[in-house]
Amino acid sequence: MIAAYVLINGDGDLDTAHRLLAGVIGSAAGQPEVSDDALGGVLYTLMSLCILGGRAELWVPFQDALARLTPIRL
């Protein structure tokens, strides 16, 4: 996630940052050592990139990640 922040705030390479975050989410799925807070931060950052990018294809990995989430019962 740090690499994505550097890309966004450094040279502004949104597509590379998006690809990195989408990859992190894909590899973190189902891993018990990945905290909900960490995954939430990555999802939030990916959502921000989707908004900034303004292209429909950027939303596909984000929507796929949301579809894999398990709802929390309160």
Each residue's pLDDT, cut to its tens digit, for the chain (74 residues) gives: 555 555 566 666 788 888 888 988 888 766 777 777 778 888 898 998 899 889 999 999 999 988 887 777 77
CB 46 within 8 Å of CB 5:
no
Distance between CA atoms of residues 10 and 13, nearest Å: 8
Distance between CA atoms of residues 72 and 74, nearest Å: 6
Domains of the chain by residue range: 2-68
